[in-house]
Structures are given as structure tokens and as C-alpha cells.
């Protein structure tokens, strides 16, 4: 529809960089509603890494102020958005907006609120549109026990799903990672199957919540960044599994391992080996299933490498400041 197209075009132009210098160029004319436009208090700028989001994507938010910022918080449709201070300066904070794989397409208001070091309140409001993700449908034949599990297996899988949900519901208040995220297998830069809808032996299953990285059994699996191990055990569907908490509601998931090399509570440095590639659980062959959860949203993990990878000045600056 033309009206929808018009909205999309306008948003592309407006949403990418919201610069709000109210003293010289107010974005909101008196009487304009904040719902359909974007606004920040004077002296604050909000930028999104992309003008729109799609299911399973991740956006980087940058908030800059002319004054030092004491704290910044984000809310997107009732979900909190993790923010952290950037080393570039006290007047600059970054946040990650995770769009769950199955989030209903539509427009959602992102509200960012905070306070400057001198106690002045700041806020921004941006409408973020979510498009339907383009995901393939895959037909798979797997062992009958996985499609028609026994009552005991169903009970076990349900308990494990709840256990994972409980983990992802908790957000460690401090940021445990530092610098860029990496793909967990050496020499691998891309993965497949994210969001793929699977039809298992003719029955539709849940969408694929991670990427499958190619690897042979025994290949070392590295932690994508620094964090704490919060799960290290064999699960019904994902086999030998490790979950690492990176803080601020950000978790990475490593499945189908042939061996687990860590235990719950272990503090891992970025890149530490946490296990080996395998074919445990519901698989058709050895590979690493790698997942990323940001504030309970299942998103494509390769995007955090892209967003907090090469563009991140944190590591480079830290290294250059040390002898």
C-alpha cells in the first residue's frame, strides 16, 4: 500500500540519525505527537545502526550528549535495553536492541531515558519498525524419538526449556564482556540456518534459534567474549551445551558439543576454549550450534560480531593506551 510505503521511506530518512538540537533546530513542532516522530531532549543525539529492524536482528544504539551522562536506560515495548558507557567518553553510551526471531512485525516505540552527571533529565523516543524476517523452510528426517518423544522425554525437554528461560530472564547488572565479539570457531566467518522453519518428518517444529557453524568433531570451541558459565550439561535437543553470561542480559549458547571443557561458575576470558565441536543431541552431523540472546530476544549471533567487532574502538583504544 502506498501509505505504508510512504511511511517506510520517511522512517528511513528520519530514524537513522536523530539529531536533536532543540535550541537551533527543533525536530518536533509544537503540537506534533511524539508517537509518530522521533525526539530527544536538547543536546542529546540518538543513532541507530540501521533504520529498520527485522525479526532476529540486532541494532546498535548510540546516545551522545553535550554533557557527561550519569545513566541511560532503554525500554522497547516493555523490554529493557542494555546500555553501557563507551570508553570514547562519559557523554557517549551504547545499547543493543535485540529483536526476537518471532517478534510480531509492526512499529514499537524505543524510549531512552537518563540523567546527566549534573542531574538533568534526558530522554529520546524513536519508533522502530520490525519487518518479517526472510527465513527458509527446511524439511528434515530425524530419529523418530525426537519427533515423537516419550512422555519422559517431553517432560525432560520442557524442564530444560524452562531452565533456559529462567537463565535468560536474569540480567547480570554489570557488563562482563570487554571489546569485540568473535565467531567461536577459528577460521569460520559465517554460519547457516538462522531462523529457518523446520518441518521434521512432516511436522512443523520451532524456528531455528541460532546459526550452525561448520566444524569437524573435536574442533575447539571458543567463548565469543569474556563471561561466566551459567550452564554446562547435556540437554535433550542441543546435546552437550554451554551457556555463557556476558552481563546486561546478553548470553551466548553453544550446542551439540562432543566434550564440555568448563563448569558452571567458571569465569571465561574472551576466546577461552569451552568445549569441542560434536554431534550430540538432535543433529544430522557434527557442527556448532551458536546462539545469542539479548534481553530474552533470540537474535542472529553473527550480528554482534559485526556490530561490536571491527567498528568497536574499545579494544584498539585500550591497547594503544598501554605500553
Q: Count of alpha carbons within 13 Å of 191, Cβ hemisphere only?
A: 27
Residue closer to Zn ion by CB (options 207, 247) is 207
- Give the binding range for Zn ion (CB under 5 A) out of 14-22, 155-163, 288-296, 307-315: 288-296
**Dihedral (CA of 59, 115, 173, 76) sign:** negative
Alpha-carbon span 127 to 38, nearest angstrom: 7
Residue with smallest beta-carbon separation from Zn ion = 289
State in angstroms the smallest separation of the CB of 196 from Zn ion: 9
Assess contact for 255 and 288: CB atoms under 8 A. Answer: yes
Among 289, 295, 303, 308, binds Zn ion (CB under 5 A): 289
Binding mask 219-258 for Zn ion (x = CB under 5 A): ----------------------------------------
Q: How far is the CB of 92 from Zn ion (least distance, A)?
A: 36
Name the minimum Å distance from CB 288 to Zn ion: 8
From the list 38, 52, 160, 212, which residue makes contact with Zn ion (rule: CB under 5 A)?
Answer: 212
**Span from 114-122, 123-131, 156-164, 289-297 in contact with Zn ion (CB under 5 A):** 289-297
Gap between the Cα atoms of 253 and 209, Å rounded:
10
Looking at the chain, list the stretches that DSSP marks H as alpha helix, in order from N- to C-terminal side.
2-15, 144-147, 151-169, 302-307, 314-321
DSSP state of 34: G
Q: How far is the CB of 216 from Zn ion (least distance, A)?
A: 16
Give the range of 2-10, 81-89, 198-206, 211-219 binding Zn ion by CB under 5 A.
Answer: 211-219
User: Nearer Cβ to Zn ion, position 37 or 252?
Assistant: 252
* 21/64 Cα distance (integer angstroms): 12
The reply to whether 160 sits near Zn ion by the rule CB under 5 A is: no
200 binds Zn ion (CB under 5 A): no
End-to-end CA distance of the chain: 59
CB closer to Zn ion, 125 vs 238: 238
- Min CB(133)–Zn ion separation in Å: 16
Residue 229 to residues 105, 156, 309, Cα–Cα distance (Å): 33, 22, 22
144 neighbors 62 (Cβ within 8 angstroms): no
Q: Taking the complex as a whole, how short is the minimal distance between the CB of residue 281 and Zn ion, in angstroms?
A: 9
| Least Cβ distance, residue 193 to Zn ion (angstroms) | 6
What are the φ and ψ backbone dihedral angles of 169, each rounded to 5 degrees? -70, -20
- 31 burial (CB, 10 Å; 0-12 / 13-18 / 19+) is exposed
Span interacting with Zn ion, options 49-57, 69-77, 161-169, 287-295, rule CB under 5 A = 287-295
Residues binding Zn ion (CB under 5 A)? 212, 289
Amino acid at each position: 500500500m502506498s501509505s505504508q510505503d510512504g511511511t517506510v521511506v520517511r522512517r528511513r530518512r528520519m530514524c537513522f540519525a536523530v539529531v536533536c538540537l532543540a535550541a537551533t533546530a527543533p525536530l518536533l513542532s509544537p503540537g506534533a505527537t511524539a508517537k509518530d516522530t522521533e525526539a530527544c531532549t536538547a543536546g542529546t543525539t540518538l543513532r541507530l545502526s540501521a533504520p529498520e529492524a527485522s525479526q532476529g536482528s540486532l541494532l546498535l544504539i548510540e546516545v551522545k550528549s553535550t554533557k557527561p551522562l550519569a545513566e541511560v536506560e532503554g525500554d522497547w515495548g516493555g523490554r529493557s535495553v542494555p546500555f553501557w558507557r563507551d570508553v570514547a567518553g562519559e557523554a557517549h553510551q551504547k545499547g543493543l536492541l535485540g529483536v526476537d526471531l518471532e517478534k510480531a512485525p509492526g512499529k514499537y516505540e524505543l524510549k531512552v531515558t537518563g540523567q546527566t552527571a549534573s542531574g538533568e533529565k534526558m530522554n529520546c523516543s524513536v519508533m522502530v519498525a520490525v519487518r518479517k524476517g526472510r527465513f527458509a523452510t527446511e524439511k528434515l528426517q530425524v530419529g523418530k524419538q525426537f519427533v515423537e518423544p516419550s512422555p519422559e522425554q517431553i517432560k525432560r525437554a520442557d524442564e530444560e526449556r524452562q531452565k533456559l528461560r529462567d537463565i535468560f530472564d536474569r540480567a547480570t547488572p554489570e557488563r562482563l564482556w570487554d571489546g569485540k565479539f568473535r565467531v567461536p570457531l577459528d577460521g569460520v566467518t559465517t554460519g547457516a540456518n538462522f531462523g529457518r522453519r523446520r518441518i521434521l518428518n512432516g511436522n512443523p517444529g520451532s524456528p531455528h534459534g541460532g546459526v550452525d557453524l561448520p566444524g569437524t568433531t573435536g574442533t575447539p570451541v571458543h567463548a565469543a567474549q569474556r563471561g561466566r558459565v551459567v550452564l554446562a550439561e547435556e540437554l535433550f535437543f542441543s546435546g552437550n551445551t554451554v551457556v555463557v553470561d556476558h552481563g546486561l542480559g546478553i548470553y551466548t549458547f553453544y550446542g551439540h558439543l562432543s566434550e564440555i571443557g568448563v563448569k558452571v561458575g567458571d569465569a571465561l576470558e574472551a576466546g577461552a576454549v569451552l568445549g569441542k565441536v560434536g554431534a550430540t543431541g538432535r543433529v544430522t552431523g557434527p557442527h556448532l550450534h551458536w546462539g545469542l540472546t539479548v534481553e530474552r530476544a533470540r537474535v542472529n549471533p553473527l550480528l554482534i560480531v559485526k556490530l561490536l567487532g571491527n567498528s568497536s574502538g574499545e579494544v584498539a583504544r585500550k591497547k594503544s593506551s598501554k605500553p
